[in-house]
Amino acid sequence: MDLNYSAEELAFRDEVRAWLGKNLPRDLADKVSNYDHLSREDLLRWHRILAKQGWVAPSWPKEWGGTGWNVVQRYIFEEELGYAGSPPLIPFGLTMCAPVLLRFGTEAQKKRFLPRIYQGEDFWCQGYSEPGSGSDLASLKTKAVRDQDSYVVNGQKIWTTLGHYADWIFCLVRTDPTVEKRQEGISFLLIDMKSPGITVRPLILMDGAHEVNEVFFDDVKVPAENLVFEEGKGWTVAKYLLGHERMNTGRIGGSKRELAKLKESSSSITDTRFRDRLARVEVELMALEITNLRFLDQMRRSGQPPGADVSMLKIKGTEIQQMLTELAMQAADPADAAKLAASHGPRYCSTRKTTIYAGSNEIQRNIIAKMTLGL
């Protein structure tokens, strides 16, 4: 196992770092650094800059716009984005729906949706969670009934991130309520958010931000051609998608950037308990990076995606993100309450959800116990 970058990989890292230094708009970088709200246009602006460079979808096949980079180069690129403080590339289209279409979609679906996802012409969101069906996703109740060449969808999704920005939503729906095993009878639909019968209602978070939503479906007609894979086989698609989602939740580059800022801002703090916690977070972040490199080495040698072990990245990566925000709150000057509330407060509140989304960390531990340890 080789966890060191080659000379070629180091040269690639320097190339990416230099390009980001010249092409990442200063106003967008400042918004990220200050934890300011990023609008739909902010997010799409950065997406389109990378699309013009040909770097927006590195993992896609080259015939659809991918870069042809190997897994290590893709990892380096993602971490350099995080370390530079670029706006996030919204994953719902690029790294969630697109891989599903590439694996399970028809040629017509690929030709229709992939170019628009690549160019940032369509903004996507995810319709998985429902009231009472979050970590227990197989208990979802939103139903879709086939009516000739359409499905009629009724139900509700919740915690729909950036649903108020979205042009399209990919949804898990129940097409057969009679099956005994709950994972069966679920299908994967692509739904136009402008369809009659869709209502998006904001859920305002504790920091006052509008990031998530409730989405209601009342007799929404969806063309049958928008079914991905086979009817009743949506759970297979969902598991494939979640593997891609969890691989990208570690956010090591972003955490390294936040750690560097925290160390600089807290350099005058002499409290030994604080310094001990800071050192522990740094060690855990180093260990997470080494673990990620181990996965990359396995993928580089085998050509296969990681298995259930990838849940480790999700667990530890999100816990580190939370620890960094907790330390940032401790390091802030309590006398400057306005600054504390404006900067650290929203970020602290926002990272509370990281250990819940993409499958709660408790669920991830169950996956590791069952699939890896055989318990």
Q: How many helices (H) and strands (E) does the chain have?
A: 14, 8
Residues 6+ away with beta carbon under 8 Å from 30: 36
The single residue of 78, 80, 130, 245 carrying the catalytic annotation is 245
Q: What is the largest CA-CA distance in the chain?
A: 71
Q: Which residues pair with 228 in a beta bridge?
A: 188
Could you give the residue ranges of the DSSP H alpha helices within 185-228?
A: none
| CA 166/CA 192 separation, integer angstroms | 9
41 among known catalytic residues: no
Q: How many whole angstroms separate alpha carbon 80 and alpha carbon 89? A: 13
Cβ contacts of 273 within 8 Å, gap of 6 or more: none
Return the H-helix or E-strand segment holding 91: helix 91-91
Q: Using CA atoms, how far apart are residues 250 and 174, in angstroms rounded to an integer?
A: 31
Q: Which active-site residues does the annotation give?
A: 245
